Each structure stands twice: as structure tokens, then as C-alpha cells.
A and B are shown apart, each in its own frame.
Chain A
């Protein structure tokens, strides 16, 4: 197996002391970022990205992806101990995790959550190891039209599978595309939508937007609810860990089911949130103790965590193999790759073999390191949440400002961050999803290039998008996904309540 030997070579890259150190630092930073309100995975990666510009790309991506793993683990801590979901996909974890903590079984819940995350992430990494090279090889045959079709598939699945109001998802995507278009046009070299402003010539850097939308706005939302957190105590000792682990094999069916759901949903973008709810729902339906769900059932912690992390990890598959990220954090990582001069996509597997396999190997090791570190340090991180928010908030905001400034040494960018913070606050309150905006902002230029090149090749005829079997399949798939949401809403509305209550379907649209 060619891939397996590449993977072993990758382990040799990732296993240097240097990189293991970065892994540990990344995981710890990631947990902090995941635990603190106002700093999530995408935002933490965005702030640290400029600091890694001087580093060797492999080490830098190991550091940053470890932050991602850490943030995934950290989200579970707040969900279980504080009933505050750190990320949208840990919402389902609070259903049974917090009741368990209330019953004094916080340690079991945490151990279960971390172990489930690890299993989920591991299945995602295995998927990446074996499937990503195949996808990349397949994608080598892609022309601009095929690439645009894949972009279309990504955006359509966001609209079709999203849980928010669909018009708002579309609006959010469009804003992302339009922000990406501001500044220098890469094909014609003309300035677009700058309206004579020199500051706008550089365009909108997605990192600034991420820090504003995910960082500043999150702080504003947090202070709304007052400035105190009330949480449960937790201390994990080895005995509890071993006892919980001994009980896990009983739930193998749930774990396998959730992992498969997660992997499937993760490759489809925007799936981690849906995956966690689906994992929970399926476990509830199939479990013998389904009635106890919501009252502190350990299976109710295992199912969503496994699914969410399988999805969160699988989201890196399309990012590596096609250059299309499956989640907001993956989008930020992708932006990082571009900054380091690495073009994600099929060619990466050919030209940067060492980098890709080093990264994949680091995913195995990073998750293992994460599991160990997080089990050992829960009390520490639970204590962070007890630091008064009036100390933490200004520090987070200062770090956000520094992060925004260092991207291109511009104070204007700090103002932009502030503006996007307010925009993010209003958008979140009005249920506009933010992840599609980031995704479109990162991919906008590339999607546009693919679109224009495809049209150039065909002389302006849209027929290029159904010129051969491959591209037709992709476009049809995209349209199917686009219609999936409204269609399933309509079916549910018709079947469930008849015509009398059209309002819920209306709201879901």
C-alpha cells in the first residue's frame, strides 16, 4: 500500500519532539479557547494564524489543527459542567450531560464525552486516511466546470441541509461572496467595489471577519446574559475513567451508528450540527433506555459527541482533497494553507506529499494527546470558567484586537473587526447563520475563477455545466440537495398536521 507507507513517513514527520510540543501547546490553547466564551475554534485559529507565518508550514498546521481538536474537546466541558454549549454542535450534549452533572456524575459524563469525541474523531481520521487520496486522485481529472460544480454542491448543501431560515442562509452566502469580490480582481486586475477607498483596495481579509463575527459578537451575546456562570464541580480520577471505559463496549452499536452518521454528514458541509442532533435522535429511537434520554443517560452523551466529532474531523476531508472546507474552522485552516503558499486540493497530494501525510498523522496523534491532556486537566479548565468575566472579557477583546492588527499591520482592520462584531451580534440575534458567510468569503475568489474560466472555455455557453457525465452528476446532485430542505419541510408539513398549520413550514423556510 502506497498510502500506508506515506502515512508511516507522515508519522515520522509528526513524531519529532518539536512537533509533539506544538501538538500539546495547540491542544491546551484549543481547550482554553473552547472553554472561554467569545473564543471558539474558528476564532482561536484565526487569531493565532498570523503568529505562525514565520513557522515551517507542517509545524504551523499541526499547531493550528491541534487547537481545533482542543476546541472540540473544550466545548464538551462547558456543555456538561455549565450547561453552556461551547459550539453549536455541543448543544445536543447538554441534553443528557448537564443532568448527569447535576446528579453528581459529572466525571462519568466528561469521560464519556471525551472518549466518544476521540472515537468519533478517530473514525473521521481513518476516513480521511483512506478516502481522501482517492478523492484527490479522482479530482485531478476536474476542469474548471467540474470545480465550480463542486463549489455549487457545497453551497447548495448548506442551503438545503441548513437548519436556519433558507433565505437568510442565501443572504449570508451572498454577503460572503460579495465581500470576497471587493478589492483587486485577480483575473482582470481591476478594482471592484472599492468606491475610491484605499483601505478597501486590499479587500476584506476573512480572518478579520472571523474574529469580528465569532469573537467580538460572542462576547456581546455573553454579556447580555449577565456576567456570572454557575457551574458544577468536577474532578476526574483514573478509577472513574477506567470504570466508564469498561462500560463503553455495551454501547458499541450507538458509537458505530453515530460515527457513520457523523462521517457522512461531515463530508457534506455544515453537517456537524445536524450530525450531533441526528446521532442523538437515532440513539434515542434505537436504545432500550430511550425513555430515559434527557434525564442523564450516558448514551445520550456518547451519541451526539461521537457524531459531532466524526463530522468535525471529516470536514477536513473535502478541504484537503478538493480545497473545499466543510466547516468554518476548516475554512480558516484552508485560509492558512493559502497564506503559506500551499494550494489545497488534489494537487496537494501530489506536490506536498510530506506535508499532507504529516498533517494526517498529526490528526491521529493530536487527538490521542488531546484525550490524555483533557482527562488530566478538567479541574483546571473548569476553574477558568470561575474567573470573573469582568477580568476575562477585556483580555479576550484585547487579544482579538491584536489578532486583527497583526494580519496586515493595519489599525483600520481593528475598526473592521469591531464593525463585524456588531454585525455578527445582530445577525446572530436574527438567526442569520454565520458559517456560510465565512465559507463563501474564503472560497469566493476561487469559485468565481472556476466559474469564469469554465465560461471562457465554452465561449459563454452555460451548457458547459452539463457537458459531460461527471459535471452533470455534480450539478444535478447540487440541485437535489438545494431542493432537499424545502421538499422535506413540505412533506413533513403535509404528513404531520395537514394544511391547517402551514406556519411552521413557513418559518422553517
Chain B
């Protein structure tokens, strides 16, 4: 909200071709791993198709498609993959999200959610502190009520919940 995308003029950013090429190379690598693994375990015929039989065949098609994509990526006109402004927005979501997932193990999902909300809304920086606080408190409590008490789905809990006797 701090930076609505109103500027339609061409912005600087990461161009599309390197990303396209990197993705294609990654896919080729994946195909290589699949083929290595499948042929390693046996992709032939041993009284019936061996367990690498099907993945190996898919792997070859995959390899061909990826190579074709790589070849295509050199021929296509280049464009902008993501502008730096857009990338900044994405990182502002992705950063807190990674933090959130990392905190689930030690703190439990409820406390981690609260931290995530504070971090996210703080980074975006458009809300007043009390609305951030209220959201950070209410959302985990509602989630707790819905999942733990109503549906009886056990979610990862941490020290705080243990202290409260759950």
C-alpha cells in the first residue's frame, strides 16, 4: 500500500531471459537426476517393467522438453521478468513468511503466527500499531478456537501453550 503500482513507465528490473535460461537449466538438471536415479535402479525389463521403467521414460521426454525450452529462451525477444519495485514487494512478504515457517518448530504455530503478523504488517507499514497488535492477538486465538477446540486438529504447539496447560 505504501507503493501502489501506478507508474506504467518501463522500470528497471531483472530481465526475463536469464531467469528463463536458469529455470530451463534447473529442469535439465532435474531430468538428469531422475535419469541417473532411474537407470541406476534399473529402467529395463526384468520379468516385467523394473521400477525405474516409467520414470526413466518420462525423464527422457522431460529432458527433451527442457532442452527445447532452453533453445527457445535464446530465440525469444527479451522482456522484464520482475521490476525491482515488484521484487521489493515480494521480498517484503516472503521474508516474514520464511521467518514464520522457521519459528513454527520452536515456538508453535500460534505464537509464530502472532510474530508473523507483527512482522508482516510492520514491514508493510501501513497500519497503526494498535490494529497490528489486535490482529496479532485475535487471529491466533481464533485459529486456536477453530482448530484446537472445535475441529480437534492438533497443530504444533510450543512453550507458551505448554505453560497454559495445552
Chain A contacts to B: CB under 8 angstroms:
50-51, 165, 167-168, 170-171, 174-175, 177-178, 181, 185, 187-188, 190, 192-193, 195, 216, 219-220, 223-228, 388-391, 393-395, 397-398, 401-402, 405-406, 409, 411, 414-415, 418, 422, 425-427, 429-430, 448, 451-452, 455-456, 460, 506-507, 509
Judged by a CB distance under 8 angstroms, whether B161 is at the interface is no
Q: Which residues of A contact B135 (CB under 8 A)?
A: 391, 394
Judged by a CB distance under 8 angstroms, whether B127 is at the interface is yes
B54 contacts A397, C-beta separation under 8 Å: no
B154 contacts A409, C-beta separation under 8 Å: yes
A227 contacts B19, C-beta separation under 8 Å: no
B72 contacts A165, C-beta separation under 8 Å: yes
Main SS at interface, chain A: helix
A-contact bits for B9-37, CB 8 A (1 contact / 0 none): 00000001001100100010011011001
Q: Which residues of B contact A430 (CB under 8 A)?
A: 16, 19-20, 23, 81
A185 contacts B1, C-beta separation under 8 Å: no
B23 contacts A426, C-beta separation under 8 Å: yes
Q: Which residues of A contact B98 (CB under 8 A)?
A: 418
B126 contacts A388, C-beta separation under 8 Å: yes
Q: Which residues of B contact A405 (CB under 8 A)?
A: 104, 109, 155-156
Judged by a CB distance under 8 angstroms, whether B97 is at the interface is yes
Q: Which residues of B contact A167 (CB under 8 A)?
A: 65, 68-69, 72
Question: What are some 6 contacts across the A-B interface (CB < 8 A)?
Answer: A165-B72, A181-B55, A405-B109, A406-B155, A418-B98, A422-B94
B139 contacts A394, C-beta separation under 8 Å: yes
A388 contacts B116, C-beta separation under 8 Å: no
Chain A's closest residue to B16 (CB) is: A430
Q: Which residues of B contact A398 (CB under 8 A)?
A: 100, 109, 113, 116-117, 139, 143
A188 contacts B54, C-beta separation under 8 Å: no
Chain A's closest residue to B113 (CB) is: A398
Interchain nearest-CB distance for B119 vs A (Å): 9
A406 contacts B153, C-beta separation under 8 Å: yes
B120 contacts A394, C-beta separation under 8 Å: yes
A-B interface pairs (CB < 8 A), number = 177
Measured in the bound complex, the distance between the Cα atoms of B151 and A171 in whole Å is: 39
Place the interface of chain B in its size category: 35 or more
Measured in the bound complex, the distance between the Cα atoms of B53 and A192 in whole Å is: 11
A452 contacts B49, C-beta separation under 8 Å: yes
Main SS at interface, chain B: helix
Chain B contacts to A: CB under 8 angstroms:
1, 3-5, 16, 19-20, 23, 27, 30-31, 33-34, 37-38, 41, 45, 48-55, 58-59, 61-62, 65-66, 68-69, 72, 75-76, 81-82, 86, 89-90, 92-94, 96-98, 100-101, 104-105, 109, 113, 116-117, 120-121, 124, 126-127, 135, 139, 143, 147, 151, 153-156
Interchain nearest-CB distance for A59 vs B (Å): 15
13 new A-B contacts at CB < 8 Å, known A227-B1, A398-B116, A411-B104:
A167-B68, A187-B51, A192-B52, A193-B55, A223-B89, A224-B90, A228-B1, A391-B127, A401-B100, A401-B104, A405-B155, A430-B81, A455-B49
Of B68, B90, B93, B117, the most chain A CB neighbours within 10 A belong to B93
Q: Which of B1, B41, B65, B76 is the one whose CB lies under 8 Å from A174? A: B65
Q: Which residues of B contact A188 (CB under 8 A)?
A: 50-51
Q: Which of B16, B101, B113 is the one whose CB lies under 8 Å from A418? A: B101
Measured in the bound complex, the distance between the Cα atoms of B41 and A190 in whole Å is: 10
Chain B's closest residue to A219 (CB) is: B93
Interchain nearest-CB distance for B65 vs A (Å): 4
Q: Which residues of B contact A402 (CB under 8 A)?
A: 109, 143, 147, 155
Q: Which residues of B contact A226 (CB under 8 A)?
A: 1, 3-5, 89
Measured in the bound complex, the distance between the Cα atoms of B20 and A353 in whole Å is: 49
B139 contacts A395, C-beta separation under 8 Å: yes
